[in-house]
Amino acid sequence: MPPTPCSICQRERAMLRRPKTLQRLCRSCFYAVFETEVHQTIQRHGLFKRGDRVAIGASGGKDSTVLAYVLKLLNERYDYGLELFLLSVDEGITGYRDDSLETVKRNRDQYALPLKIISYEELYGWTMDRIVEAVGRKNNCTFCGVFRRQALDRGALLLGVDHIVTGHNADDVAETVLMNILRGDIARLQRCTEIMTAGDAEGAVRRSKPFKYAYEKEIVMYAYFKKLDYFSTECIYSPNAYRGYARAFLKDLEASRPSAILDIIHAGEALLIRADVKMPTQGQCERCGYVASNRLCKACVLLEGLNRGLPKLGISGRASVPDGPAVSAKQP
Ligand code: SF4
């Protein structure tokens, strides 16, 4: 049987089937369409402006590694005029994050990008290993997620950057849409589809997801064919069963109709917030000064619980705690 030609250039032999469209493509055309689509997303949504200092949230995993590679490439190819940095958070997870940070350090050298690593230990006086000892394996990701968000903002302030980009891909966004629908969380539903969130005066830095429309399978394919150096082990504390259900459901949908991922994102974008849904107003944490929708920011509430030996305090849904010894997210 003669080899199948690439459906774009018609010259080269097709080496892969593109997961998003099922087109048979040669490697060069796959690279070209993948990179061009990310460029178009950046342009269409006006993610950057010339002179921006941009931190790439780098975990060493496939998404952030491909993001660092592609963003550097597009910045040079289209002369965006960006100053790029790698910003990593060390959660203090022995046997996982220490290894993945070694990958980020190699990426720093491979892509010649400055790297800043910021740790939970230095910011909060706790590592995730110790938090898991205190809270068990059920709610650990709640602590980790809250602390990471703030740690990235604090790292960005230290670097003096205007913008953080993260490697969230289309599958991540579609999963989050599904989870918010399943939980009936209308307020989060629209926010989770936003490609960019604005920064503010209280320390939250502008964030965006240039891979919002990039399929996970294509990111893996791109990393594989380009032989990028990334870390593929799952976090040892990863339970997140609920997201697992949404992920499994999404993969089933994708198997029967590849456009399902984009369709779910578009459905999430189209669902308007009802006028009577109360959105939280943003203020400043009384303790650490970080952005907060209550008297204390969520990180300070969680820290208060940890430091008082009452780790459930912060995850019970209570946003404020009784006055006690001042325990705050340490300023770097
Ligand atoms: Fe943190 Fe949970 Fe992710 Fe592990 S799986 S890095 S504990 S959020």
Tokens of 103: 């990958």
Residue nearest to atom 8 of ligand 1 (CA): 141
Query: Which of 81-95, 154-168, 294-308 has the least mean pLDDT?
Result: 294-308
Give distance in angstroms: CA of 235 to centre of ligand 1: 6
CB 321 within 8 A of CB 305: yes
Give distance in angstroms: CA of 266 to centre of ligand 1: 28
Q: What is the pLDDT at residue 234? A: 86
Q: Which atom of ligand 1 is nearest to the CA of 97?
A: 6
Q: Is 316 annotated as a binding residue?
A: no
Q: Where are the domains of the chain?
A: 27-279, 280-332
3-class DSSP assignment, residue 35: helix
Q: Give the confidence band of 258 by pLDDT, cuts at 50, 70, 90.
A: very high
Residue nearest to atom 5 of ligand 1 (CA): 238
Q: Per residue in 7-66, pLDDT tens? A: 999 999 999 999 999 999 999 999 999 999 999 999 999 999 999 999 999 999 999 999
Q: Give the confidence band of 216 by pLDDT, cuts at 50, 70, 90.
A: very high
For residue 281, is pLDDT > 70?
yes
Question: How many C-beta atoms lie closer than 10 Å to residue 233's C-beta?
Answer: 11
Closest CA to 56 of 159, 130, 150: 159
CB 147 within 8 A of CB 302: yes
CB 142 within 8 A of CB 42: no
Q: What is the pLDDT at residue 138? A: 82
Q: Per residue in 78-114, pLDDT tens? A: 999 999 999 999 999 999 999 999 999 999 999 999 9
How far is residue 184's CA from residue 6's CA, in Å, rounded to a whole number? 44
Query: Is 142 touching ligand 1 by the criterion CB < 6 Å?
Result: no
For residue 304, is pLDDT > 70?
yes
Q: Which atom of ligand 1 is nearest to the CA of 235?
A: 4
Amino acid at 83: E
Average pLDDT over residues 189-209: 82
Query: Is 237 touching ligand 1 by the criterion CB < 6 Å?
Result: yes
Average pLDDT over residues 153-164: 94
How far is residue 174's CA from residue 297's CA, in Å, rounded to a whole number? 28
Instruction: Please report which helix (H) or strand (E) contains residue 303, including its range.
Output: helix 298-307
How far is residue 180's CA from residue 253's CA, in Å, rounded to a whole number? 18
Closest CA to 183 of 242, 137, 250: 242
Query: Is 90 touching ligand 1 by the criterion CB < 6 Å?
Result: no
How far is residue 91's CA from residue 143's CA, in Å, rounded to a whole number? 10
Query: Is 59 touching ligand 1 by the criterion CB < 6 Å?
Result: no
3-class DSSP assignment, residue 82: coil
Indicate the CATH number for domain 27-279.
Answer: 3.40.50.620
Give distance in angstroms: CA of 282 to centre of ligand 1: 26
Q: What is the pLDDT at residue 24? A: 97
Q: Is 58 annotated as a binding residue?
A: yes
For residue 172, is pLDDT > 90?
yes
What are the beta bridge partners of residue 57?
A: 87
Give distance in angstroms: CA of 241 to centre of ligand 1: 12
Question: How many C-beta atoms lie closer than 10 Å to residue 232's C-beta?
Answer: 11
Give distance in angstroms: CA of 236 to centre of ligand 1: 8
Work out the percent of the chain whose per-residue pLDDT is above 70: 90
3-class DSSP assignment, residue 229: coil
Residue nearest to atom 2 of ligand 1 (CA): 141
CB 213 within 8 A of CB 262: yes
Pocket-testing residue among 238, 240, 302, 315, ligand 1, by greatest number of atoms within 8 A of Cβ: 238
Give the Å distances, CA to CA, from 146 to 248, 298, 308, 332. Answer: 25, 7, 18, 17
Give distance in angstroms: CA of 145 to centre of ligand 1: 7
Give distance in angstroms: CA of 44 to centre of ligand 1: 32
Closest CA to 293 of 278, 307, 304, 305: 278
CB 115 within 8 A of CB 104: yes
Contacts 24+ apart (CB under 8 A), 96-105: 96/233, 96/235, 96/236, 96/237, 97/128, 97/235, 99/60, 99/231, 99/233, 100/59, 100/60, 100/61, 100/231, 100/233, 101/60, 102/60, 103/60, 103/65, 103/229, 103/230, 103/231, 104/58, 104/59, 104/60
For residue 321, is pLDDT > 70?
no
- State in Å, rounded, how far the first CA of the chain is from the last one: 64
Work out the percent of the chain whose per-residue pLDDT is above 90: 68
- pTM, 2 dp: 0.86
Residue nearest to atom 1 of ligand 1 (CA): 144
Q: What is the pLDDT at residue 101? A: 96
CB 120 within 8 A of CB 89: yes
Q: What is the pLDDT at residue 311? A: 81
Query: Is 145 touching ligand 1 by the criterion CB < 6 Å?
Result: yes
For residue 145, is pLDDT > 50?
yes
Q: Is 59 annotated as a binding residue?
A: yes
Give distance in angstroms: CA of 97 to centre of ligand 1: 10
Burial class (CB in 10 A: 0-12, 13-18, 19+), 294: middle
Q: What's the sign of the alpha-carbon dihedral 22, 24, 27, 33?
A: negative
